[in-house]
Chain A
Amino acid sequence: MRAFTYERAASPRQAAQAAASTDHARFIAGGTNLLDLMKIEVETPTHLIDVNGLGLDTIEATEEGGLRIGALVRNTDLAADQRVRRDYAVLTRALVAGASGQLRNKATTGGNLLQRTRCPYFYDTNMPCNKRRPGAGCAALDGGASRQLAIIGASEHCIATHPSDMAVALRVLDARVETVDARGGGRSIPLADFHTLPGDTPHIETVLEKGEFITAVTLPRPPGGKHFYHKVRDRASYAFALVSVAAVVQPDGSGRVALGGVAPKPWRDEQAEAALPRGAGAVMAKLLDGARPTPENRFKVTLAERTLAAVLAEAKE
């Protein structure tokens, strides 16, 4: 870990200003991912802006009938919120499928969206990684271990996945990300547009601009229907998804589906969802159209379809 300076932000705007005016600054909230990466020098910020004291830790009803979730709401608190459990159960299910109790107690809503990939080559600083060092190459694509990695949305420069479970649920819920910037302005970004695909710039992972600070995640009115989060992994707990399916299924068989574990961002296609009444195969034919798996992770194509089939079967019960 390299030496860094540290400050506690006094307000969201001041946090944004500090980040905008300092090179190599990072916000720190729960620190459950950032600190690990700093220890192995995958992340080497020279300045940390602690945003834990800013409030932003409440969940409030919006005028539109949805919820505004403060960026500092801990994963545990978000999962346990009665309104979330009742109206947005897919979110609670995704949250409790992730990490461990200790990590969820610390990890925040905003931080969860910004966590980095768990690609083993991203973590091993001896290995070439375009995400860590643009232009260095990608060990995972170049004959490396790729079983966990992306099958779609990736590029010839990077096949890392986004590891979040929470974000997959937020994606089916049509969540938006609210930010503030150094000038005091801000925006509301659909989660669909929040994470970027790697292309030839895999080191850029979101549309956030320098200094832009997440203040909240908003949910629109509850979608109704039955909620599912089926996360498949080799062990029963405490592992990242091989494939996960977040779904909201309505009584008429229509609904929404997003996948985790297959792409650099939560993977959803509203047009593919139109095929839901025709079954998992029809949805996946569209949703995973253009998938380019490696020999090691080709199974994810089958697995995604079968996991959705399990969800749809359960929805009919």
Chain B
Amino acid sequence: MRFDQPADPNVADQGKVLGRPRTRIDGPLKTTGTAPYAYERHDVAPGQLVGYPVVSAIAKGRITAMDTRAAKKAPGVVAVVTTLDMERLPKAKMNVVYLFGGREIQHYHQAIAVVVAETFEQARAAAALVRTDYDEDRGASYDLAEQRQAHLDDEVEPASRVGDFERAFADAPVKLDATYSTPGQCHAQMEPHASIAEWKDGTLTLWTANQMVEWSRQALGKAFDLPPEKVRLDSPYIGGGFGVKLFLRADAILAAVAARETGRPVKVALPRPMIANNATHRGLTIQRIRIGTDRDGRITAIGHDNTTNTPPGGGGEEATIPTEHFYAGAHRLLVHRPLEMHLPESNAMRAPGDTAGQMALEIAMDEMAERLDMDPVAFRVLNDTQVDPGKPERRFSERHFVECLRRGADEFGWSHRNRRPGDRRDGVWLIGHGMAGAYRGAPAQASGARVALRPDGSVRVDTDMTDIGTGSYTIIAQTAAEMLGVSVDAVEVGLGDSDSPVSAGSGGQWGAASATAGVYAACVALRERIAERLGADAATLELVDGQVRHGGETRPLAGLAGDRDLVAEDKIEFGDFRDKDYVLATFGAHFVEVGVHAYTGEIRVRRQLAVCDAGRILNPITARSQVIGGMTMGVGAALMEELKVDTRRGFFATHDLASYEVPVHADVPEQTVIFLEGEDPYSTPLKAKGVGELGICGVSAAVANAVYNATGVRVRDYPITLDKFLDQLPLPA
């Protein structure tokens, strides 16, 4: 099915199941510990061995020698495979650093060997016996600020230039020129990367935890020079990803090389302390933002110049992204400077570009409102745009940002906010209020599914779509139930298997909208099969309550398929009208109250409120969970999360969950989420857009703005920890 024009009214509009709150259909499996996550799939292949990674102790250089003799002699050890045993394995385009093979060290904790033993404990003990000698390259710089200074005068082609920014900014009567920084951030997903690999009859099977099954099937085929049909991935349950499981990682490669070497299935998980440096992170940024307005507060010039780290060949954190479309303004300049550094691989993390970009942009908007002596809500309302500010002929399909702002202000009680920074106290706590806008694009990707009506009238959906804790199982079941007139309980959903039709996968906030559209397409095809079976016209067919009605006749779906499944498969493909003629995006407004201890500077978030505009909300429960998860992650990014760079040795020193602090329950206050009622027919047949990444966008800046409002001290360097403002905080009298 091609989606070439805005959606008309259709079967999915009935609203009997879709759009209704529905708890997760996979919830009982998870709460009882019976959902089969990758590392515990003991039943899928007999005789599993355990592999334990050995990782590099240096950030840059070459391995001169590895001594595996002691490890090979250790109890239980079956094999030791080192990076010197093979040439560099080919990598997929989306991977920036190489995952295994060869002598070159590109980053700290790069995988350099896997020790394979009968038990986990044996493998881990033996891994510690591998001795590696390096020729370390100590010349590299790991300090982004230092590198930025060194490259300030580099000629860089702007990512986007509209009008004459320099002149408009120079002429603006009110202006801001400020620089912000965000640290490297770790996905800190609950489930570590884990894979079980088996080679059998020339086919490589990987039971794994991966967000993008088809991308990774291709990547695995490339690494081992196998045609795609000789590679199978199965990734039905994923304990969090946030982008760190978008691409093939070392767990998969190590399991595969170990299984090939031993002739037995091998499982490998990345131990927690290795994940931060071995896998990917959100890159560091230093962002200079310039905004100029007229005296009434209308933006005339907006510039965003971002510097970020990447290993050679990558793009880093593209923090300029939100500034392209979020606010009006005739003169615009975006510059993105990824600097090649030999830190680990910076790559996608929840709302890549937008999260870090809005951490800075939405403080800048707050600072600008203050300069204009305007309410920051009113300043944003004034600078709303219904068209692409760079290409006014493209309009936003649906944009209700102003409604988000106004509704949020109302519900939060913004009019009762503290107006003068540092002015409000509750005992020893300084009270502050802050807000920020939120913006995230709403892309869609081709997505396929197979739907079967079974003899008993139940339905089975298969797609390689993944559920990374987002609720895919549930909204896919709801889609099929709505389309086929059955209850959600009558729908069985199979996800994450590369033998199933290729889906959009989970990434870029496109998963929910795209995958449900794919299931919609397959259900339309199945309705046609059912109509054929009855000799009816699919257009007049009514599927209700497990029954099919046509021509005044009603019969149960059970039995309709005879003794075999009635199966249909299709995929949705999106025409370019979505991007050519329109800008599709999601919007939000965040409002936050914080308390800051007047003596110690301790910051505690007291309440958070979000209003989201994301088209039709397919399931208010799972959507809310996505947004409050994003709000929590945004609090972490604002107040505590930092991959602290050891700039001398070139690695992230805070590489475990004791030192990389994420919010605990006590940090998470009352959270309110409001979804605007609405549909976006330009998005998908279901008129839906994603919310999973929207939820984090803007949150950290709202917290930062609230801290400023509480203390009167503006911190432009995340995370906002007390050491950055304590000496400027007046002691209570």
Q: Hey, which bits of chain A sit against chain B, CB under 8 A? A: 1-3, 39-41, 118, 120-121, 123-124, 126-127, 139, 142-145, 147-148, 230, 232-240, 242, 299, 302-303, 306-307, 309-310, 313-314
Contact = CB atoms under 8 A, between A and B. Distances in A.
B726 A127 contact: no
B119 to A, nearest CB: 11
B600 A120 contact: no
B541 interface: no
Contacts of B378: none
Given A144-B646, A303-B600, A310-B599, A235 B664 contact: yes
B602 interface: yes
B124 A1 contact: yes
A126 to B, nearest CB: 4
A15 to B, nearest CB: 26
Contacts of B61: none
B128 A147 contact: no
Contact of A124 (B653, B664, B726): B653
B726 A299 contact: yes
Contact of B727 (A118, A234, A302): A302
B653 A234 contact: no
A310 B428 contact: yes
Given A313-B599, A313-B732, A120 B722 contact: no
A306 B732 CA distance: 10
A139 to B, nearest CB: 7
A307 B599 CA distance: 6
B600 A232 contact: yes
Interface in B78-130: 121, 124-125, 128
B542 interface: no
A232 B647 contact: no
A306 B128 contact: no
Contact of A39 (B124, B654, B666, B726): B124
Contacts of B722: 232, 234, 242, 299, 303
Contacts of B648: 142-144
Contacts of B601: 303, 306
Interface in B138-177: none
A302 B273 CA distance: 32
Closest 3 pairs (CB-CB, A-B): A310-B599, A236-B666, A299-B723
Given A2-B125, A121-B653, A124-B655, A309 B599 contact: yes
Contacts of A310: 428, 597, 599-600
B721 interface: yes
A236 B604 contact: yes
Nearest to A121: B653
Q: Is the interface of B mostly helix, strand, loop or mixed?
A: loop
A281 to B, nearest CB: 10
Nearest to A240: B658
A307 B726 CA distance: 11
B604 A126 contact: no
A236 B664 contact: yes
Nearest to B660: A120
B403 interface: no
Contact of B656 (A121, A123, A233, A236): A123
A238 B640 contact: no
A159 B386 CA distance: 57
A239 B597 CA distance: 18
A235 B663 CA distance: 7
B492 interface: no
A139 B726 contact: no
Nearest to A306: B599
12 contacts: A121-B653, A123-B273, A126-B58, A145-B653, A230-B600, A299-B722, A299-B727, A302-B727, A307-B599, A309-B731, A310-B597, A313-B732
A309 B599 CA distance: 7
Interface string B560-602: 0000000000000000000000000000000000000101111
Contacts of A236: 604, 664, 666-667
Interface in B649-683: 649, 653-656, 658-659, 661, 663-667
Contacts of B658: 118, 240
B459 interface: no
Nearest to A245: B600
Given A139-B646, A145-B644, A302-B727, A234 B661 contact: yes
A235 B639 contact: yes
A236 B669 CA distance: 11
A306 B602 CA distance: 11
Contacts of B719: 234
Contacts of B665: 237
Contacts of A123: 273, 656
Contact of B654 (A1, A145, A235): A145
A310 B600 CA distance: 8
B732 A235 contact: no
A123 B654 CA distance: 10
Given A39-B124, A303-B601, 12 more contacts: A1-B121, A2-B125, A120-B654, A126-B57, A142-B648, A234-B639, A235-B667, A236-B667, A237-B664, A237-B665, A239-B661, A299-B722
A238 B121 CA distance: 28
A59 B647 CA distance: 49
Contacts of A124: 273, 653, 655
Contacts of B639: 234-235
B58 to A, nearest CB: 8
B644 A302 contact: no
B595 to A, nearest CB: 11
A303 B723 contact: yes
A234 B641 CA distance: 9
B720 to A, nearest CB: 10
Contacts of B647: 143
A310 B731 CA distance: 10
B74 to A, nearest CB: 9
Given A127-B649, A235-B663, A306 B726 contact: yes
B656 A303 contact: no
A232 B646 contact: no
A309 B663 CA distance: 27
A238 B660 CA distance: 12
A307 B602 CA distance: 10
A41 B655 CA distance: 17
Contacts of B649: 127, 139, 143-144
Given A236-B667, A299-B727, A144 B125 contact: no
Contacts of B731: 306, 309
A255 to B, nearest CB: 17
A99 to B, nearest CB: 11
A309 B655 CA distance: 34
A147 to B, nearest CB: 7
Nearest to A3: B125
Contacts of B659: 118, 120, 148
B287 to A, nearest CB: 23
Interface string B356-382: 000000000000000000000000000
Contacts of B599: 306-307, 309-310, 313
Nearest to A44: B128
Nearest to A140: B653
A41 B646 contact: no
Report which residue of B75, B597, B649, B661 has the largest number of chain A beta carbons within 10 angstroms of its beta carbon.
Answer: B649
Nearest to A307: B600
Contact of A120 (B124, B653, B723): B653
A197 B604 CA distance: 35
Interface string B711-728: 000000001011100110
Contact of A143 (B428, B646, B654, B726): B646
A234 B642 CA distance: 11
Nearest to A281: B731
Contacts of B128: 2, 41
Contacts of A118: 658-659
